Structure 1
Amino acid sequence: MADLDEALLDDADRLAAADPSSVLRALAGAGAQVRRALELVDESPAARWGREDRPRAVVVAARGGATVVAGALEALAGQRAAVPVVARTGAALPAWVGALDLVVAVSLSGRAEATVALAAEAGRRGARLLTVGAAGSPLEAACAMGRGVHVPLPEPGREATSAPTSRTALWSLLTPALCVTSSLGVLAPLGDASAAEALAEVATALDAEAEACRPGSETFVNPAKALALDLAADVPVLLGDGDLAGVAARRAASVLARTARVPAVHGRLPDDAGDVVATFGGPFAAAAEDDLFDDPFAAAAEDDLFDDPFLDGPSRSRLRLVLLREGTAGASAAVLRLAERSGVRTSEVVADAGGPLARFAQLVARTDFAAAYLALATGLDPATSPHVAELRDALG
């Protein structure tokens, strides 16, 4: 990894100068995104949908960074959902989708071809259609053709210096989908709380996280800056303890790649525990598997600070297990103990306040800020992904 300028993290003025696109400011406005998106839903015809309009099934169409919307809805629905919730990333609807079903299509730009095509097909089949994306976009046009309801994205504030991305405008996309599907009685895990109450709690949690992770907060008390330092020299393996935390882990891996250019493996516990702990005895862990049970303390030995990189070779990248969890540790406790015994570095991101949506918001916000700080400290612009843009152009 490029040299890390740790001093920059504790200098708010230098951070602002290194962030010309104001990514940190955009992330700090996540709570405001929720509130404005709720207003836009209230102003749309979808505000009149209620439990008596509950569909037979819900299909959520999203691509790229917007797939977290589909993942969050699937995870919140879970096994207790009143109706099935199915995510689709391609342009083909399941054959069974028809007039009794709801299709939710989300695209920040409103130009994602697969999402627009799926929305158009839903309209042709007579399915109820909800779209979320830019005003005046092809997605809105497809929604109008299908006699659906389009919720436009909030206009960027005057202080915005760059176009929003799915990394900085997530809650503008996710809030309408959560609000409408909850009002329809699809998301049972929200319990007695209404969609508006649950999302108001989310906005408050996002505001609190933005305050804790603000640029002017020193690294030793700023959880996002501390996490960025943890991730600076290691190979991150992100594990979410549970369904929603698993979605947050996947989102974090995507944000680390696109924002900080750091590759990361992600998974969900307990399903992916075996694949992860198997690597604890491999070349990226501190100790060989044969030695693990002979001398567990030897496994914790760190690289020698006095090694000469020219004579001894560069320091070896090592695993960093990052556990994302809500409240009390479940399957993650056993994985954490084994990682520590194996000499694998560990970090934890714990959300323990509020309902499931608020806890999910905390996990997402913490890792979003950490990725942005990591990018800035290594001299990268967190708002751009040049190779992604080149690939998009090449694929047309």
Structure 2
Amino acid sequence: MPQLDESFLDSVDALESLDSRGSLRALATAGAQVRRAFVAAREAGIDRVAGGDRPRSVLVASLGGSAVVCDVLDVLAEPGSPVPLTTRREAPLPGWIGPLDLVIAVSQSGRAAGPLALAAEAARRGAALLTVGAPDSPLADVAARGRGVHVDIASDAPSSRAALWSMLTPVLLAADGLGLVDCPEPVLERVADLLDERAEECRPSSESFVNPAKVIAVGLAETVPVVLGDGALTGVAAGRAAAMLARTARMPATHGALPDAASQVVATFDGPFTSSGGGNAAGRAPDGGRDIFADPYLDGPPAPQLGLLMVRDRPAPPDDPAGGASLEAVRLADAVTESAREAGVSVLEVEATGAHPIERLASLIALTDFAATYLALGLGLDPAVSRHVTELRDRTS
């Protein structure tokens, strides 16, 4: 089982020495990314997209560390978008895309094959085009040749995972201007402030027993993690958290959202990673905790324990039923966590803060991004460098 060194997490110097590309520092700039993206979008002429005629449909293309841009826009637009919005990771471009449609392509490097191919085909068909990515990149060139709008990403983040808000902000500004989502600049300014507050709360110098991101990292370190959102909005945050756990902390994690995922998640409580499923044979007490009398030489190493990270929306206030989790969602999430604890599952819960959906989503994503990065560092891993990912790129280049 992986072993996390809590003392390492409380040493700022140790964290900096292992974090070779400054992943923690990049996550702390999320609020600044939002503010810089405002300026970059205006300078690029985002009004040419947001202030024009409403398109017949919108297609958003992003993948990898940028893929959550699709998910965020999809969940925000779903309740009231006046036009269809679809997402696509790879080519081909759907046959119905034409001059009346808008294609948004996002890639931090501006070189991701899927968004690049989709943007190029959209330009060939005469569709309106908004691209977000590195300046002087192939994606920027496609936008220029297609008379689209390209927003430069002014970020030195070590990966697209750490540059989320540089990529997402211009897309939200354009979508708000087109009336696809309700996300005006004042809301995004509050998001920037919230991200600053989260960065201060999760700073490296904050000790592990008070730093919420470090608490999550410690709690997940010796588990097989399942990340579960209590609804559609938190389901996006759960998907992002699972991706960060896998790509940043190298922890294989599954994810889902209630109500659809309730049965499949609860079914795992009968499996080999819980005490009720017989998973207490090696180093586990009957309640699922660590057996202090277990002998690692005679009994073998402790078996991994199932860990549930429940990502929860704030309860909806009485005067705004759409402003959070419904009573039914709260009850279902409570029932799942109660079942998990009874089965000996290690349960951690995080709850969104803020009023607007994008604020609540930002509060969750920022916290779990920091948690995954601290988990990587606590396990002795550089968050931004994976030997196997590098080898995969070499073998497929």
TM-score calculated relative to the size of structure 2 = 0.91
Matched AA of 2:167: L
Q: Secondary structure at the match of 1:25?
A: helix
Other-structure match for 1:38: 38
Give, in whole Å, the separation in 2 of the partners of 1:248 and 1:389. Answer: 27
Query: Helix, strand or coil: the match of 1:260?
Result: coil
Structure 1 position 336, deviation (Å) = 1.1
- Which residue of 2 is the match for residue 354 of structure 1? 355
Q: CA deviation at 1:3?
A: 3.0
2:167 alignment counterpart: 173
5 Å-filtered alignment, 1:1-396, equals 1-50=1-50, 53-156=53-156, 164-187=158-181, 190=182, 195-288=184-277, 300-328=287-315, 330=329, 331-396=332-397
Q: CA shift at 1:299, angstroms?
A: 5.8
Whether the aligned pair in 1 keeps the contact of 2:288 and 2:343 (CA below 8 Å) is no
Aligned-residue offset at 1:9: 1.4
Alpha-carbon separation, structure 2, partners of 1:6 and 1:373: 10
Given that 1:301 and 1:343 are in contact with CA atoms closer than 8 Å, whether structure 2 keeps it comes out as: yes
Kindly tell me: are residues 15 and 155 of structure 1, through their superposed partners in 2, closer, same or farther at Cα, counting changes over 3 Å?
closer
Take 1:118 and 1:210, find their aligned partners in 2: how far apart are those partners? 35
Q: Which amino acid in structure 2 is aligned with residue 42 of structure 1?
A: R
Is the contact between residue 120 and residue 145 of structure 1 (CA under 8 Å) also seen in structure 2? no
CA deviation map 1:90-128 (0-9, x unaligned): 111111111111100000111111211100000111110
How much is the aligned-residue C-alpha RMSD, in angstroms? 1.6
Q: Is the Cα contact below 8 Å between 2:266 and 2:336 reproduced in 1?
A: yes
Could you tell me how far apart the structure 2 residues matched to 1:111 and 1:279 are? Answer: 40
On the 8 A contact 1:238/1:323 being kept in 2, the answer is yes
Of 125-134 and 11-20, deviating more is: 11-20
Secondary structure class of the residue paired with 1:221: coil
Task: Measure how far apart 1:155 and its partner are.
Answer: 4.5
Paired letter, 1:96: W
The AA in structure 1 aligned to 2:274 is: A
CA deviations over 1:214-261 (Å, ceiling 9, x no partner): 111111111000000001100110011222211111111111111111
Structure 1 residue runs of 5 or longer lacking an equivalent are: 157-162, 290-297
Q: What is the identity, as a one-letter code, of the residue corresponding to 2:357?
A: P
Q: Output the CA distance in 2 between the equivalents of 1:229 and 1:178.
A: 34
For the 8 Å contact 2:107–2:133, the answer to whether it is kept is yes
Identity of aligned residues (%): 54
1:50 to 1:171, Cα distance in 2 relative to 1, 3 A:
closer
Return 5+ residue gaps in structure 2 as ranges.
279-284, 316-324
Read off the aligned partner of 1:231 and give its amino acid letter. L
The AA in structure 2 aligned to 1:60 is V
